[in-house]
Copies of this chain bind each other. A is one copy, B any other.
Amino acid sequence: MAKNKKEESFVEQLTKRDENFAQWYTDVVRLTDLADYAPVRGCMVVKPYGTAIWELIRDELDRRFKATGHQNVMMPLLIPESLLMKEAEHVEGFAPEVAWVTQGGKEVLPEKLAIRPTSEVLFGYMYAKWLQSWRDLPFLYNQWCSVLRWEKTTRPFLRTSEFWWQEGHTLHETGEESAEETQRMLEIYREVAEDCLAMPVLTGRKSEQEKFAGAVATYSIEAMMQDGKALQAGTSHDFGTNFAEVYDIKFLSREGSLTHAHGTSWGVSTRLIGGVIMTHGDDRGLKLPPTIAPIQVVVLPIAQHKPGVIEGAKAVADALVKAGLRVKFDDRDSVSAGYKFNDWELKGVPLRLEIGPRDLENGQLVAVRRDTFEKQTLDITDAAEKVSALLSTIQKDMYESAKAMRDRRITNAANLDEITAAIQGGFARGMWCGADECEDAIKEKTGAYTLNMPFDQTPVGDVCVCCGKPAAKVMHFGKKY
């Protein structure tokens, strides 16, 4: 009885998505042990399961960064106030969010030190020191760290005062090269989001108002969550020579003159985990794409007290481990099989293998997909091969399914009413004249933010959705996180 009660409790504890999506999200984070609240307001603790997901995402990104010639560095946490304040636009963007160190030991510091909200100025300072000749370029550096921005309202992974991320900072000889780099990294973000997180994204350029403080151009990947809101999941900035001018980053050019270098920066964060939760999760909990699932397959011996069952199931689990899969063998005898089903569904494990006495007799097992709940019988002899193939299928299907959902919910809009209607459960695609005033008015009247301008600028109209004047820019609009 107690067991049944506990089994039900998973479902009871998890709010339904259509009742309260925000509460569902928080429930999932808590019930699956992804993260917890820290004793400092707005900060989180990422628990082992969440950290394992982050490490898998990190490895996918890091491999691609290195394959494109980037190297990791470790920059300091603290930035002197005077250095941070050099770039006016940057200061304006970040000053309200900075945590300040004013005391070291018992000594009051002569100058306040900021905890990095991002590290453009540190890289800028060091780059100015390191760069001498065009032969030194490009500088292609990245770091993995946490940063801090003093936030008023916070939600685990989506917005917290401290979060973990990578920040790439590069320097180039020419503007063409920095523009190329900006696109190269955006493309890596798109690839990891779509191929690894199974999360379809719209790539494009941010508006002038929404771009990064100090950038010439900001590009983003925007994902649609199941509630139709946009999650900005990564950004790539082209600085031109903006930071180089402020931080005096110059080099002796091929022609022998002192020239400012062209810079970029780009980052994705633990926010991606929030994106995975809200792209794929359902009323039973988390649904993880196999590529970033800490446990890809859970193997459950059924009627495990019967002779040979645990051994037989364990042999299958071992074969999967040997094939390089991430496997959990769950032979707990303190909970029922039903409890385990619910438990691993909640945790979002992509594939469950059930192996009972009759299965072993028949040399078979039952595989149950987390994404579709589809059951199929597999031969034990080539289980590792079949399971690997099935995981690839799940990965692909999860992407296709999320993409179909997303595509259905992007609607062309010709005016503010149509924007309002479109963004109730998705994005609007519409023409925009490019004026700040219209961007502000759209936000005020419909609640829609400009997300990004797709690279495919095939017009969907000829006048601005807001002012009705001739408009040449195709823009994605939506509510946002």
Contacts and interface: CB of A to CB of B under 8 A. Distances in A.
A317 to B, nearest CB: 17
B46 A74 contact: yes
Contacts of A126: 36, 38, 45
Given A72-B55, A75-B45, A100 B102 contact: yes
A43 B114 CA distance: 14
B40 A76 contact: yes
A51 B142 CA distance: 11
16 contacts: A38-B76, A38-B126, A45-B76, A48-B71, A48-B72, A51-B73, A52-B71, A52-B72, A55-B72, A78-B99, A99-B103, A99-B104, A99-B105, A99-B113, A102-B102, A104-B150
Contacts of A39: 76, 79-80, 83, 122, 125
Interface string A117-140: 000001001100110000100000
A77 B164 contact: no
A116 to B, nearest CB: 10
A107 B105 CA distance: 22
A5 interface: no
A253 interface: no
Interface residues of A, number: 56
Contact of A40 (B48, B105, B113): B113
Contacts of A51: 71-74
Interface string A33-51: 0001011100111111011
A52 B100 CA distance: 31
Contact of A100 (B80, B101, B122): B101
A173 interface: no
B46 A73 contact: yes
Contact of A162 (B48, B78, B162, B164): B78
B74 A164 contact: yes
Given A36-B126, A40-B113, A97-B105, A77 B46 contact: no
